[in-house]
Amino acid sequence: MKNNNFGILTEEMYNNFSENEIKKFLIDKKIKSKFHPVKNLEYIETNEKNVDIISGKLYPMDDQFSKKFLSEVYFYLKSFMKTSHIVNLQNFIKNFNSNTFGLNKEQTKSTGLEEFNFIFFNLKNADSIKLINDALITYGSRFEHLKETQDTFINALIHEADILKFYLLGKDEFFNRKLLDSNQLLINIYKFENNLIKLISLNSQFNFEIDTYFTPKSISEIIFEEYLDEFESLKQLQFLENKLSVKLNQKASFIASIYFFFKDELDLKTPKEKNFREIVNHFYSMDLKRIKLSDSSGNAHTKRIKNFNKDWVKFQN
């Protein structure tokens, strides 16, 4: 996330503008938004079917920082923790690999799940982190709960007046190690993000659940969602993405071989040549004019098909 609003408020503006002028400036920049506070809400049942009345006291118009701005500040603060988080993750992976050395695939995944649950429930039970609905944890997405927790931290920044002020003023010197070590909210954010990155890593390795909150969608997932009716399965596109992740494979002869491998060798549902070519060109930044086998590609094509068959069998497991 870009730091679009870091330093957007100049010293001159801060010193010379009135409080209302600063508010108006921030509202105009969509850093703040206006709203009517409502208190003492009461739900009143009526005789009409499916109609209730919400009663409450409407207070004068107020303003608050937008969720988008608070998220921007959150990820700016998180950037100062990145190096430490990466080192801790590397050590975590190293220790995990050492502890699972000699185990088979199923045993390693089982150990990974135990580690995942241990970290997750330790986070859930931490005094500084309260997940919203304990009853849903058994049935809902773990990452949904983690995103709710992250959002709670993001929203909590609204109470950190100095952090928000010095961010708007662009005061680099304010955001130092002393702040990170002394501010309790930032300490809690550090602990949360430090464990979140481990959970993301374990889930990426073992696919415990689909993470739509923290892990960007792969090219294959995006294509499959957009062209659901034109491909046999997501696995087919994951195989294609795996092959085209090697830059040397991004050439016309290779694409032709894998296209006819899907279409003829495996007899999988595959788009027509024109559509397949346009998809590959768009998502892999290629410039194919046509997908076809040339007369001179016989032996090379046969060899590629043979290798694809071997790799496809491994890819299914």
Mean pLDDT, the chain, integer: 88
**% of the chain with per-residue pLDDT over 70:** 85
Alpha-carbon gap, residue 187 to 178, rounded angstroms: 11
- 58 and 101 share a domain? no
Answer yes or no: is 5 within a domain. no
Residue 265 forms part of a structural domain: yes
Q: 45, 66, 87 — which closes off a domain?
A: 66
What is the C-alpha to C-alpha distance for residues 68 and 75, in angstroms, rounded to an integer?
11
Structural domain contains residue 2? no
The predicted structure's pLDDT at residue 124:
72
Please give the tally of structural domains in the chain: 3
Alpha carbon distance 262, 311 (integer Å): 13
Q: What is the pLDDT of residue 293?
A: 84
Contact between 109 and 206 (Cβ < 8 Å): yes
Compute how many other C-beta atoms are within 10 angstroms of the C-beta atom of residue 304.
Answer: 20
Q: Domain check: are 72 and 18 in the same one?
A: no
Confidence of residue 317 (pLDDT cuts 50, 70, 90): confident
199 and 273 in one domain?
Answer: no
* 65/22 Cα distance (integer angstroms): 13
63's enclosing H/E stretch is: strand 62-65
Which of 206, 229, 260 is at the close of a domain?
A: 206
The reply to whether 34 falls in a domain is yes
Question: Higher confidence at residue 297 or residue 26?
Answer: 26
Considering the domain boundaries, does residue 24 fall inside one?
yes
pLDDT of residue 169: 97
Contact 291, 259 (CB under 8 A): yes
Residues 84 and 58 in one domain: no
Over residues 160-185, mean pLDDT: 96
3-state secondary structure of 50: coil
| Long-range contacts from 275-281, C-beta under 8 angstroms, 24+ separation | 275/227, 275/230, 279/223, 279/227, 280/244, 280/255
Q: What are the DSSP calls for 238-296, one per residue?
A: HHHHHHHTSGGG-SHHHHHHHHHIIIIIS------HHHHHHHHHHHHT---S-----GG
Name the residue range of residue 124's domain.
68-206
Q: Based on the fold, state whether residues 77 and 200 are members of the same structural domain.
A: yes
Band of pLDDT at residue 57, cut at 50, 70 and 90: low
Q: Is residue 82 part of a domain?
A: yes
115 lies in the same domain as 194: yes
Determine, yes or no, domain membership for 212. no
pLDDT digits (tens, 9 = 90+) for 77-119: 999 999 999 999 999 999 999 999 999 999 999 999 999 999 9
- How much is the pLDDT for 36? 54
Question: What pLDDT score was predicted for residue 59?
Answer: 53
Domain end call among 184, 206, 228: 206
Q: Are residue 76 and residue 193 in the same domain, yes or no?
A: yes
Q: Which of 140, 139, 146 is nearest to 122 (CA)?
A: 146
Q: Using one digit for the tens of pLDDT, what is the confidence trace for 268-305?
A: 999 999 999 999 999 999 999 999 987 656 789 999 99
In a domain, 91, yes or no: yes
